[in-house]
Amino acid sequence: MINKPDIHDLLTEARRVLMNSLTPELKGEHKYEALMIANAMGMAIRELGQGEQAKVEEADRAVSAFLEARSEPHHHAECEAFLAEAIRERRLDGGDEALRNLLRTLTEARLGINSPGYLKR
């Protein structure tokens, strides 16, 4: 079914109205609430967008490949849970540069959606 404009477009426009027209008129607690709504909408927009989603999928694939290369049990849909368990049970070396890079890739993919500004500091 084609349903235009798409949801990414709708949310982007709704957020623009919220930020440009409504928020400047608000004060105190209401302004704070409007900014929280804009923040949540921004995350939704990025999560729906293809660029950030591709990074998330790439990070998941990297986790699978990493576990595969170390003969760690895993299946793709829950690879992050397998990774967490292997770390907790100390089957992976915490000092391993490849592990650290992998953890960074995962974290950066999340930050790309949740708070991209944090990566640019």
Partner 1 sequence: MFELAEAFSQFVVGQTGARGAKVIEFEKLSGGAIQDNFGLSLQIEGGERPGLQELVVRQDAPSGVAESLSRPEEFRVLEAAFKAGVTVPEPLWLCEDLDVSGQLFYVMTRADGSASPRKLVKSDLTVEQRRNIVRRLGAELAKLHTVRPPVRSLDFLTLPGQDGAALSRVAIYRRHLREMAEPHPVLEWALNWLEDNTPEPGPAVLCHCDFRTGNYMMAGENLTAILDWEFAAWSDPAEDLGWFCSRSWRFGAHEREAGGVGEKQDFLDGYREAGGTEVDPTAVSYWEVMALVRWAMIALQQARRHISGEQRSLELALTGRMVAQMEYDLLTQIQELEGDQ
Name the site residues for partner 1 (rule: CB under 8 A). 33, 36-37, 39-40, 43, 78, 80-81, 83-85, 87-88, 90, 94, 99-100, 103-104, 106-108, 110-111, 114-115, 118-119, 121
Judged by beta carbon, residue 73 or residue 94, the one nearer partner 1 is 94
Contact 48, 11 (CB under 8 A): yes
Judged by beta carbon, residue 6 or residue 100, the one nearer partner 1 is 100
Contact 8, 49 (CB under 8 A): yes
In the complex, minimum distance from the CB of residue 114 to partner 1, in angstroms, rounded to a whole number: 4
Contact 85, 34 (CB under 8 A): no
Judged by beta carbon, residue 3 or residue 71, the one nearer partner 1 is 71
In the complex, minimum distance from the CB of residue 92 to partner 1, in angstroms, rounded to a whole number: 8
Contact 63, 102 (CB under 8 A): yes
Identify the residue whose tokens are 């950030």. Answer: 52
Cα separation, 16 vs 10, in Å, equals: 10
